[in-house]
Copies of this chain bind each other. A is one copy, B any other.
Amino acid sequence: MESGKRTDVNKLGEFGLINHLTNNFKTKINRSTLYGVGDDAAVIDKNTDEVSLVSTDMLVEGIHFDLVYTPLKYLGYKSVVVNLSDIYAMNGIPKQITVSIAISNRYSVEALEEFYEGIKMACDQYNIDLIGGDTTSSLKGLVISITAIGVGQKGKVAYRSGAQLGDLICITGDLGAAYLGLQILEREKQVFLASPTLQPEFDKQDYLIKRLLRPEARKDVIEMMAQNQLVPTSMIDISDGLGSELYHICSQSGVGAFIEESGVPIHNDTQMKAIEFNMDPITTALSGGEDYELLFTISPSEIDKVKFLPDIYIAGEIVPQSEKIKLHTVKGNIHPIIAQGWNHFNQD
């Protein structure tokens, strides 16, 4: 400030900004701090065979959600789910959350009740206790900050940095649907704006919109892994698009990745709608976001443990870092994959 120098935050991008600001904090002061900034969640020693996992997210109205087409109940549900997803992505089990909100005066008590009803639904669904939070007023809009706390088993925590040469790359569920759900709703926004009392009926709407507005975290996959004694060598949740998550795994593990387009799971509805929007379906998977599926790597010796599990797809292989991150398309071409997460700083 003193020097009068002014660098725009957009210049660094979201990843760059976090790294830049937290770079001075790398030294660990407390022995209990096993892992800090840089993964889906932080890891704290409990002095038992377990560790605590801590993850936090901030969601801002007008940046992360649009209340024109987002029912507050679903927003509450999703706000919790996206945080739980980070704990599962460490191969952990979330147990508690704190929820803080800043709200402008235009919110009624009834609106907040709806929001908290969604929070409660998610807590019941995932066996989570709400243990604290803060409620204050904002100058504009709604800001939500949620912290999730969970437990992991020592030696079984899945970091982004553990992928090994030759590991198989696995993806759960299907990708790209939420991104197209967003495109549909943005297109329909004018209709909603014209009749503001109309709330979209998502139960009767299609898969894509539900994937955007009411995503689930892959608790089931983490439970299956435990049952099958499978510990991924690395794992991350897919919140910013497959390309961005592959970039994190590869850069933190010091490896490259070779992805088969035919192995990337994309739902039929996503395929169809992508074509309607004149997009290549694989682009919605690579550069979309908000899927909240899991991307993980396993040793090839573990293949039998995933081969027969439902909803897990082998999409590629870990290769040397020099080969970078590449996609082998169904047409037989090989393209580089470029990380292209949602850059919220460029949206307004």
Partner pick for A52 among B52, B57, B139, CB 8 A cutoff: B52
Q: Which of A54, A113, A135 has the most CB of B within 10 A?
A: A135
Q: B52, A50: Cβ atoms under 8 Å? A: no
Q: B37, A135: Cβ atoms under 8 Å? A: no
Interface residue? A211 (CB, 8 A): no
- The verdict on A101 contacting B139 (CB below 8 Å), with A48-B48, A50-B47, A123-B29 known, is no
Q: A7, B56: Cβ atoms under 8 Å? A: no
Query: How distant is A196 from chain B, measured CB to nearest CB, in Å?
Result: 12
CB-CB under 8 A from A63, the residues of chain B are 102, 136-139
- Pairs A–B under 8 Å by Cβ, sample size 21: A7-B110, A11-B109, A18-B135, A24-B120, A29-B129, A30-B127, A33-B131, A36-B129, A36-B131, A41-B132, A42-B96, A44-B96, A48-B48, A52-B149, A54-B147, A60-B102, A60-B136, A60-B139, A136-B344, A136-B345, A145-B145
Besides A29-B127, A58-B145, 17 other CB < 8 A contacts?
Answer: A7-B108, A11-B109, A17-B109, A17-B112, A18-B135, A20-B113, A22-B133, A25-B120, A56-B98, A56-B100, A57-B100, A58-B136, A60-B137, A62-B139, A136-B344, A143-B143, A145-B145
